[in-house]
Amino acid sequence: MTDATPSADGQTLTVRDDRTGKEYVLPIVDGTIRASDLGKIRVSDDEPGIASYDPGFTNTASTRSAVTFIDGEKGILEYRGYPIEQLAEKSSFLEVAYLLIHGDLPSKEQYDSWVHDITFHTFVHENIKSLMQGFRYDAHPMGMLLSAVGGLSTFYPEARNIHDAETRHLQIVRMIAKMPTLGAWSFRHAQGKPYVYPDNDLSYAENFLAMLFKMSETTYEADPRLVKALEVLFILHADHEQNCSTNAVRSVGSSQVDPYSAVSAGIGALYGPLHGGANEAVLKMLRRIGDVSNVPAFIEGVKAGDERLMGFGHRVYKNYDPRATIIKKATDDVFEVTGVNPLLKIAVELEKIALEDEYFVKRKLYPNVDFYSGLIYEALQFPPEMFTVLFAIPRTAGWLAQWLELVNDPEQKIARPKQIYTGERGLVFPSSSERWG
């Protein structure tokens, strides 16, 4: 028996290495063992110890985190302990952003000063505008956003000083404030419309809508029901613990680079179709189905394995995605203003049939956040390329909360996974005559 430092609560895992017959007692803390403890299991001192192989980190915790809690089996999502349903109903996006970043709800004074600070950092340097105007007329807005956020690091070189709390805070305020401006401008660019400057008399969501849709009117007045729906969508998308883009932000941030560069890595990850693009796929699917009468045949095709029912199923949620329930409710409010999206009928019928069908029930496949969000975005006049931008704006609060946690976590190191090398070894470099004759 070797090496036992039992955990505080005394739980251990005993591992027997059949190559040597040795037994190792590894402490179990919070349901995990330390990967470095596995490294102690080795055949001899000059050979590397055992490592775990986990592409996609499907069963590896990379951090301790107090930001977001998910229980996929029970369909629970909480930010800093507050259930998402309560936040969506009772809070505003900026209050949720404060909660994520600071860990606690703000007092009235703290909230007012937070909103004031965010509101007064919405403008960007004119050269960022020139940078964005330099993109091709048909540039994808997500590519523009990614570049603009990365570019901000050059305007705020002090952001490199990540060890100073005040400097960190200022960059967080700047980034949350400027994302709607950059997102809206990337939208206007594709339409050939002039970029609209922020209006500091408007709320966060109102200001975003104004920068997207304002034309010649002096003040843009958005329908309060749409503003509320956008706030709710922002709250639902603000964080989702260690997903692909958050992991990208943490991984890049672990090199101690400035937060603009780390967040632009997150935007890059979110750009990918496996992460931020599913709601667009839902819309395409609904259009292809075309009519409620075609739903049964489509479901049969899904069950036969011809294709997937997009917007259904989740890696973590095996009961119901709590965000989907809230979004479904928000669709009613939005459609009251915009008129019903004809695709909604097809979506509702798909959901009804799927929820009763043995195939979906057995596999615990339920609607996820993307099943209805695309319908809302379309009703709000957004082209599909904007969907991921609408995701990136609120997720910036989550990325930054996670980045802050990373920077303050003494256990974190530069992210550097191991590999299992499968290539050649020790080849002799041939001379040019041997290679090319």
Ligand X SMILES: CC(C)(COP(=O)(O)OP(=O)(O)OC[C@H]1O[C@@H](n2cnc3c(N)ncnc32)[C@H](O)[C@@H]1OP(=O)(O)O)[C@@H](O)C(=O)NCCC(=O)NCCS
- Is 136 a residue that touches ligand X (CB under 6 A)? no
Q: Which residue is it, tokens 């203003």?
A: 337
The pair of structure tokens assigned to 60 is 């590896």
- Is 309 a residue that touches ligand X (CB under 6 A)? yes
Q: Which residues pair with 190 in a beta bridge?
A: none
Please report the sign of the dihedral spanned by the C-alpha atoms of residue 89, residue 245, residue 118, residue 255. positive
- Is 312 a residue that touches ligand X (CB under 6 A)? yes
CB nearer to ligand X: give 132 or 142: 142
The single residue among 308, 361, 408, 418 that binds ligand X, judged by CB under 6 A, is 308
CB nearer to ligand X: give 77 or 210: 77
CB nearer to ligand X: give 249 or 299: 299
Please check whether residue 253 is in contact with residue 406, taking contact to mean a CB–CB distance below 8 angstroms: yes
d(CA 330, CA 434): 69
The pair of structure tokens assigned to 192 is 């050939």
d(CA 236, CA 242): 15
Least distance to ligand X, CB of residue 159, Å? 31
Q: Which residue is it, tokens 């629970």?
A: 76
d(CA 296, CA 319): 23
76 alpha-carbon distance from chain centroid? 17
Q: What is the phi/psi pair of residue 225, to 5°?
A: -70, -35
Least distance to ligand X, CB of residue 342, Å? 21
Site for ligand X in 264-293 (CB under 6 A): 278
CB nearer to ligand X: give 239 or 258: 239
Contact range with ligand X by CB under 6 A, out of 102-110, 119-127, 251-259, 311-319: 311-319
Least distance to ligand X, CB of residue 359, Å? 7
Please check whether residue 225 is in contact with residue 183, taking contact to mean a CB–CB distance below 8 angstroms: no
Q: Widest CA span of the chain, in angstroms?
A: 80
Contact range with ligand X by CB under 6 A, out of 30-38, 71-79, 303-311, 378-386: 303-311
Contact range with ligand X by CB under 6 A, out of 137-145, 310-318, 375-383, 400-408: 310-318
d(CA 274, CA 56): 13
Instruction: Give catalytic residues, as residue numbers.
Output: 314, 370
Site for ligand X in 359-388 (CB under 6 A): 363, 365, 368-370
The single residue among 315, 352, 417, 418 that binds ligand X, judged by CB under 6 A, is 315
Least distance to ligand X, CB of residue 312, Å? 4
Using CB atoms, what's the residue nearest to ligand X? 313
Least distance to ligand X, CB of residue 369, Å? 6
Q: Which regions of 81-142 does DSSP assign to beta strands (E)?
A: 82-83
DSSP class of residue 57 equals G
**Amino acid letter, residue 205:** A
The single residue among 314, 323, 328, 395 that binds ligand X, judged by CB under 6 A, is 314
Write out the residues near ligand X by the rule CB under 6 A.
Answer: 278, 302, 308-315, 363, 365, 368-370
